Chain A
Amino acid sequence: MSSLGRVRTYLALLSVTALVAAGCSQDEPSQASGDKPFAGQTLIATAYSGPYYEAFKRIMVPAFEERTGATIQFIPTNGEELSELSAAPPDNPPYDVVMCAGPDYIRGMEQGLFRKLVPADIPNMADLTDFHQQDFGFGLNTDFGIPFDFGVFVIAYNKETLGFTPTSYADLWRPEAQGKIGLDAIYWYQNTSAAALQLDDLPGLDEMYEPVDSPAWDHIVEKLQELDVVQWFQTGAEMSAALERGDISMAIASLEIVSEFAKTNPEKYGMVVPDEAAVGYIDYFCQTKGTKNAALANEWMNTLLDPELQAQWADIIPYYLSNDLTEYSSFAQPIVDGEKDRGQLLDYGYIASVFDEVDTRLKQEVYSQ
Chain B
Amino acid sequence: MRAATYTKRHTHVLLLAPALILLVGIFAVPIFAILGVSVQKSSTLRNYEPGFTLASYWRLATSPFFLGQLARTMEIAALSTVLCVILGTPVAFKLWKAHGRAKTLLLSIVLLPLFTNIIARVYAWLLVFAKDGPINWVLVETHVFREPALLNFQFFTVIVGVTYVALPLFVLILYSALEGVDWSLVEGARTLGASSFRSMREIVFPLAAPGAAGAVAVAFTWGAGAFAEPQVLGSPREWTTGIEVGNQILRTFNWPFGATLAFALVAVTLLIVYLIFKLIVRGERAHVATPR
Residue from the list B45, B131, B232 in contact with A246, Cβ < 8 A: B131
Task: Give the residue name and chain of the B residue nearest to A86 (CB).
Answer: B47
* A165 → chain B closest CB, angstroms: 21
Question: B126: CB under 8 A from chain A?
Answer: yes
Q: A356–B252 contact, CB under 8 A?
A: yes
Q: A359–B252 contact, CB under 8 A?
A: yes
Interface size class of A (residues with CB under 8 A): 20 to 34
- Specify the main secondary structure of chain B where it touches its partner: loop
Give chain A residues whose Cβ lies under 8 Å from the Cβ of B130: 245-247
Q: B251–A359 contact, CB under 8 A?
A: yes
Q: Mark A63-79, 1 if CB is under 8 A from B, else 0.
A: 00000000000000001
Number of A-B contacts (CB under 8 A): 71
Q: B127–A356 contact, CB under 8 A?
A: no
Interface residues of B (CB under 8 A from A): 44-47, 65, 123, 126-127, 130-133, 148, 150, 152-153, 231-232, 235-237, 247, 249-254
CA distance A234 to B236 in the complex (A): 10
Q: B252–A242 contact, CB under 8 A?
A: no
Instruction: List CB contacts (< 8 Å) of A160-197 with chain B.
Output: 179, 185-186
Task: Give the residue name and chain of the A residue nearest to B236 (CB).
Answer: A367
- Specify the main secondary structure of chain A where it touches its partner: helix
Interface residues of A (CB under 8 A from B): 79-80, 82-83, 86-87, 107, 110-111, 179, 185-186, 230-232, 234, 238, 241-242, 245-247, 352-353, 355-356, 359-360, 363-364, 367-368
Residue from the list A82, A110, A246, A355 in contact with B132, Cβ < 8 A: A246
CA distance A359 to B247 in the complex (A): 10
Task: Give the residue name and chain of the A residue nearest to B46 (CB).
Answer: A111
Q: A179–B150 contact, CB under 8 A?
A: yes
Q: B236–A185 contact, CB under 8 A?
A: yes
Q: A107–B253 contact, CB under 8 A?
A: yes
Give chain A residues whose Cβ lies under 8 Å from the Cβ of B247: 186, 359
* B171 → chain A closest CB, angstroms: 30
CA distance A112 to B232 in the complex (A): 34
Task: Give the residue name and chain of the A residue nearest to B48 (CB).
Answer: A86
Task: Give the residue name and chain of the A residue nearest to B232 (CB).
Answer: A238
Q: A186–B251 contact, CB under 8 A?
A: yes
Q: A230–B250 contact, CB under 8 A?
A: no
Q: A245–B127 contact, CB under 8 A?
A: yes
Q: A364–B65 contact, CB under 8 A?
A: yes
* B130 → chain A closest CB, angstroms: 4
Decide yes or no: A82 and B126 within 8 Å by CB, A87-B47, A367-B236 being known contacts: no
24 sampled A-B residue pairs with Cβ under 8 A: A79-B251, A82-B253, A83-B47, A86-B46, A86-B253, A87-B47, A107-B253, A110-B44, A230-B235, A231-B152, A231-B235, A241-B123, A245-B126, A245-B131, A247-B131, A247-B153, A355-B251, A356-B252, A356-B253, A359-B252, A363-B65, A363-B236, A364-B65, A368-B237
